[in-house]
């Protein structure tokens, strides 16, 4: 199937109905694998890369876990289409820069994506809504086991799976969760939290991974190390830390409501006001304001049905999604105008924030056993 068919529907993870969905947007687990005795993509010559691609691609497409899937060579995708895939977290920014000799394969539910010849020969990723790291790992592990029977992996008895970058060697696994922490940001507790998380060997990054800014109070937490620990141990450790952060965020929300209710109301109200009436809006401003609207839903100032519209806007207002919707390349000012229009339109049906309907907070986190 052509990947252009994928763009008409949003991914399953974006439905935001997984466990702890109020705070955890999505969970991702990716594995890096390489073929034995073949040069890594960054060092391989074009002929080698093409040969590796043609060797791997049919094997990947034959995987039962994939089912119906979209598959595309990178050179056949426009810059805009690649960017849409990046905004949906289906390919990395690095992969979007690739052309001849690379490919991407995505399942129909958009939960599983496989990049061929990114930094490694194979990067397989599962993305799920809410906090579902264990489920995500289980699926990507199955895919990996299916594939290892078909291709010969580069594996070292001591170092484990060999990767182009030594930072991924061992399990080749990077697990991460995207979390929404408006109250920790508002109460200025976010920096100590980030420092504490860094200290225990986990990384905190912005919306699109390494080197990106944290916008819309969204943060990505992931494991930093890949060697010397079992996959399950890494996942469990990460899961525990994320549950603690969820707890901190919930506490911060309660504290804010008790001590500075006016400030919370002001942020939600202003967010709503500006989003409803602006005629030009950058994607950064949109994300930051939508974050307060999302907080408003979590706190019960908007009916729960509004959640869906906000989640859609988080994705639809990203630059590439906007341009795809308008079917043309837009200058930044045109984009900002269109973004404001789409938001105004969507929020027409939205009731005004009503703090009298404020709902009690989500239950404190329990173990992540909400399995399939």
Partner 1 sequence: MVCDVCKSNPATVFLTQIVEGKMQKVNLCETCSNEKGVSDPTGFALADLLLGIGAAEELEKGAVVQRCPACGFSQTDFKKTGRLGCSVCYDTFAEGLSSLIKAMHKGTTHVGKIPARLMRTLELSARSKQLQRDLEQAVSDENYEQAAQLRDQLRELESQT
Residues at the interface with partner 1 (CB under 8 A): 34, 36-40, 42-43, 119, 141, 144-145, 148-149, 153-162, 164-167, 169-171, 173, 201, 225-231
Three-state DSSP state, 95? helix
Closer residue to partner 1, CB minimum distance, 45 or 352? 45
CB of 42 to partner 1, least distance (A): 5
CB of 165 to partner 1, least distance (A): 5
Closer residue to partner 1, CB minimum distance, 147 or 320? 147
Closer residue to partner 1, CB minimum distance, 37 or 58? 37
CB of 33 to partner 1, least distance (A): 9
Closer residue to partner 1, CB minimum distance, 135 or 163? 163
What are the residues whose beta carbons fall under 8 Å from the beta carbon of 143, sequence distance 6 or more? Answer: 63, 65, 66, 112, 114, 124, 126
Print burial letters for 288-318: b (CB count within 10 Å at least 16), e (below 16): bbbbbbbbbbbbbbbeeebbebbbbbbebbb
CB of 238 to partner 1, least distance (A): 13
CB of 241 to partner 1, least distance (A): 15
DSSP states of 180-224 as a string?
Answer: E-HHHHHTT-HHHHHHHHHHTTEEEEBTTBTT----TTEEEEEE-
What are the residues whose beta carbons fall under 8 Å from the beta carbon of 178, sequence distance 6 or more? Answer: 24, 25, 26, 27, 28, 207, 218, 219, 220
Tell me the β-bridge partners of 155.
161
Closer residue to partner 1, CB minimum distance, 43 or 279? 43
Question: What phi-psi label fits residue 297: left (phi over 0), alpha (psi between -120 and 50 degrees) or beta?
Answer: alpha
CB of 288 to partner 1, least distance (A): 33
Closer residue to partner 1, CB minimum distance, 225 or 251? 225
**Is residue 8 within 8 Å of residue 120, measured between CB atoms?**
no
Q: How far apart are CA 167 and CA 225, in angstroms?
A: 7
């Amino acid at each position: 199937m052509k990947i252009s068919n994928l763009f008409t529907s949003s991914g399953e993870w974006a439905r935001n109905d997984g466990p702890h969905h109020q705070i955890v947007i999505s969970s991702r687990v990716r594995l890096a694998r390489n073929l034995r005795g073949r040069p890594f993509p960054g060092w391989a010559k074009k002929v080698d890369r093409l040969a590796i691609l043609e060797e791997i691609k049919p094997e990947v497409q034959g995987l039962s876990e994939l089912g119906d899937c979209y598959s595309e060579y990178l050179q056949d995708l426009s810059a805009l289409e690649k960017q849409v895939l990046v905004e949906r977290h289906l390919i990395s920014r690095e992969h979007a820069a690739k052309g001849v000799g690379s490919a991407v394969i995505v399942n129909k539910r958009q939960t599983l994506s496989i990049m061929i010849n990114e930094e490694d020969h194979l990067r397989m990723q599962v993305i799920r809504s809410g906090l579902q790291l264990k489920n995500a790992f289980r699926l990507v592990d199955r895919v990996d086991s299916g594939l290892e029977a078909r291709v010969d992996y580069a594996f070292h008895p001591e170092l484990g799976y060999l990767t182009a970058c030594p930072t991924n060697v061992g399990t080749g696994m990077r697990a991460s969760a995207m979390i929404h922490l408006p109250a920790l940001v508002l109460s200025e507790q976010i920096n100590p939290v980030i420092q504490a998380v860094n200290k225990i060997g986990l990384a905190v990054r912005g919306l699109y991974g390494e080197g990106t800014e944290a916008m819309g109070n969204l943060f990505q937490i992931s494991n930093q190390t890949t060697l010397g620990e079992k996959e399950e141990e890494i996942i469990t450790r990460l899961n525990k830390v994320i549950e603690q952060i969820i707890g901190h965020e919930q506490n911060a929300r309660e504290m804010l409501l008790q001590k500075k209710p006016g400030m919370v109301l002001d942020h939600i109200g202003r967010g709503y006001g500006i989003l409803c009436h602006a005629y030009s809006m950058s994607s950064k401003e949109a994300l930051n304001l939508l974050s307060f609207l999302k907080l408003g839903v979590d706190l019960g100032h908007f009916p729960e049905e509004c959640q869906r519209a906000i989640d859609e806007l988080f994705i639809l207002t990203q630059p590439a999604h906007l341009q795809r919707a308008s079917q043309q390349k837009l200058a930044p000012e045109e984009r900002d105008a269109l973004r404001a229009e789409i938001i105004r339109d969507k929020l027409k049906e939205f009731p005004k924030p009503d703090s009298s309907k404020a709902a009690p907070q989500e239950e404190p986190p329990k173990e992540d056993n909400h399995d399939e």
